[in-house]
Amino acid sequence: MIRWALQGLAKGWAVKYPVCAHTPVALSKGRGAALFRRKLGHMWLKGGDMNRRILGLLTMFGLCGLMVSMCPSSTSAEAVNIGTHQVTRYSVTSEAPGRDEPIAFGEIAVGPADGVRFEVVSTQREMSLSRSEAQAVHELLGTMLAMSSPSDTPQTPAGPQTDAVGSPTRDTPPPDDKPRVHDTPDTAGKPDKNPFLGMNLADVTYYSRAWVFTDLMFQSDAWRKGGSGHIFKTGYAPPGQYICTWSGNGSIRFGGDAEANPTGSNSAQVTISTGERGIDMSTVGQVSDVSLIRIEHETRISPFQPEFLDRLAPFKVIRFMDWANTNNSEHQRWAGRARKGQVTQARGGGVAIEYMIALSNELGADPWFCIPHKADDEYIRRHAELVRDRLHPDAKVYIEYSNEVWNTQFKQHGYIRQLSGGDTYSDEFFDAWSERCRRTFAIWAQVFGDDANRRLVRVAAVHLQNPWVAQKLLPRLQGEFDAVAPSAYFGITRKQGKRLTPATTADDILGLCEQNIRQDNRGWYDRHGQIARDWSSKLGRPIHLISYEAGQHLSANGDDNLPYYDALIRAQSHPRMYGLYLLNMRLLEQAGGNLFTAFNDVSKPGKFGSWGHIEYQTQPIEDAPKYNALIDYPSIRNQYDGTMRWTRVLRWRRSF
């Protein structure tokens, strides 16, 4: 016999449905059970408040869906109010020996009456479940989905729609969606960008999993090795039918996940599938001006893939550090910069500044530029003039001198040390670093003139774990900065890593991360928040606390033979990661932080780090807990209590 416990706390239940007031309720396959199912079925179909319907559904599932289970299970539920939301909290418990904790638990939230949203957040414990237990958990969500299918829900009224975080949803741009250069962005139908959210873009390479450019050739390594080239070498190429055109008397052969049929002497129709090989190309004879564009995008004016734009739509600030190949950059003169018209944007020189501006315009985002550490005055001035003349006038512009100058592994650190003639972190080192910052900021301010105070954000990027760096650098900037920017990473320490073994689980690693967030990160954020407040008082104007990079920092540092390497990778999609992101963002914001700039958008997990918040461009959002936490945070920041978890199997949201 299967026994279910249902605890109904919603107002009015005991009066209208007296049977619900008795807990626990033991039921079997008898007449009473059938009567109870009909009673609760009537409740679901005829309505009442949403919590009654949800609790009724849970009970119906318990009676109808698990009668065949070989292992006794029970569920409990209670209705509570959190702000303007009514929330039903439930759990599924197995009565199998040794099951002391629920095998699954979660919440079903119903929003205000004027904008009802239905959200299920459910978590399955990291344990081995029996087939019947797993079936109980999965059928619970499956039954909810079936009972709330679109045909059973009211039609959404015309006008702007809302997503799960309460922002207008963005429609897929039409083929002729234009980049807004020299103009304000067209934000109609796009999500309101939350000013707390920023994103670093991964570098553009031929092995990237980001679908950046409409013309795939911009992400190729053509033609480096005797007329051969590759695109999306690690797989996950954008599938579909493409038109390839070129100039010259030669021809192009395709391989890997691409098959070509010639359509003329200088053109071919190419079929690309999503496989593991990517796109291989080779040339015979003279070939130039190659283009490879999806047939449906032939008339598209935007240089960017719509899928790429959609995943960046929620973010207010876009940081172009890796697009500019800032670390170890050799850029010094304007004539040597990356050009818009070059064969590919996937080489060591980085992406052309024109594309950074075009992307910011199309997204309606604020760009964050990292100026190469060797850049001369002309380079800095011409860069600023290009941005002033082409970026939409409502945008703020974040300016940072290089990236992580404090970090001894980068050439920019060695460059400043050489300029200073002093040792690392000597007074002379900080003098030289601050002078380069002030020089860069001053040129940008001259170019922007009267708009400089309104539009420029001069970023003093410092070291999270060492607030002393900020204390040494900031006084030397002589008040010429607007934001203090440490990172906002969390992870495990080297000492903790040395104690891990092959038996270490992803949950073990994330447990250490949570400990470090609550103890170390909280203190670092508070310390830098106080530094920002102190400088606000000294200068008589706001000095903001922002992060230049943020998120998890679990890396094998190139060693995939670490005994716990597999656990590091599994941690990226573990249910607990979602809650750790929320906790980390909340602590930064409580310290006074007002920008969380995640690192980075799209990349594959691996031995050099698992930086991507999505692993490939079209990864389903329900499979990406890190990205999901970013876009969820603005709507749940005030209710979050530090315990939320997430699972890709048992997470579902829909507006109706």
- Averaged pLDDT for residues 453-474: 98
How does pLDDT run across 602-626, given as a tens digit for each residue?
999 999 999 999 999 999 998 999 9
Chain-wide mean pLDDT for the chain? Answer: 78
**For the whole prediction, is pTM greater than 0.85?**
no
Give phi and psi for 152, each to the nearest 5: -95, -5
Note the pLDDT of residue 275.
85
Q: 190: which residues sit within 8 A by CB, 6+ positions away? A: 168, 170, 313, 364
Q: Is the predicted pLDDT of residue 8 greater than 90, yes or no?
A: no
Q: Is the predicted pLDDT of residue 65 greater than 70, yes or no?
A: no
Share of the chain above pLDDT 70, in %: 67
Question: How far is residue 567 CA from its own chain's centroid?
Answer: 21
The length of the chain in residues reads: 656
Residue 219's pLDDT band (cuts 50, 70, 90): very high
Q: Is the dihedral of CA 142, 145, 148, 150 positive or negative?
A: negative
- Of the ranges 107-111, 146-150, 204-208, 353-357, the best mean pLDDT one: 353-357
- Averaged pLDDT for residues 477-488: 98
Residue 440's pLDDT band (cuts 50, 70, 90): very high
Residue 216's pLDDT band (cuts 50, 70, 90): very high
How does pLDDT run across 382-419, given as a tens digit for each residue?
999 999 999 999 999 999 999 999 999 999 999 999 99
Note the pLDDT of residue 591.
97
- Averaged pLDDT for residues 244-265: 94
Q: Are 297 and 175 in contact (CB under 8 A)?
A: yes
Note the pLDDT of residue 349.
87
Beta bridge partner(s), residue 70: none
Q: Are 613 and 601 in contact (CB under 8 A)?
A: yes
Q: Is the predicted pLDDT of residue 581 greater than 80, yes or no?
A: yes
How does pLDDT run across 25-41, given as a tens digit for each residue?
232 333 333 333 333 33
Q: Which pair of tokens denotes residue 104?
A: 């699954």
Cα–Cα distances in angstroms (integers) from residue 593 to residues 471, 517, 545, 590, 635, in the given order: 18, 15, 5, 7, 17
- Averaged pLDDT for residues 458-463: 98
- Averaged pLDDT for residues 549-567: 96
Q: Is the predicted pLDDT of residue 648 greater than 60, yes or no?
A: no
Helices (H) and strands (E) in the chain, counts: 17, 22
Note the pLDDT of residue 369.
98
Note the pLDDT of residue 641.
55
- Averaged pLDDT for residues 248-263: 94
- Averaged pLDDT for residues 136-143: 52
- Report the distance separating Cα 263 and Cα 415, nearest Å: 53
How does pLDDT run across 46-60, given as a tens digit for each residue?
334 445 555 555 544
The position carrying tokens 């650098």 is: 473
Single out the residue of 412, 448, 553, 456 nearest to residue 496, CA to CA.
553
Cα–Cα distances in angstroms (integers) from residue 33 to residues 37, 343, 439, 625, in the given order: 6, 71, 79, 39
Share of the chain above pLDDT 90, in %: 62
> DSSP letters along 249-285, please?
S-EEEEEETEEEEEEETTEEEEEE---SS-EEEEEES
> DSSP letters along 84-117, please?
TEEEEEEEEEE-STT--S-SEEEEEEE--GGG-E
Strand order in the sheet with 258-264: 258-264, 267-272, 240-247, 288-294
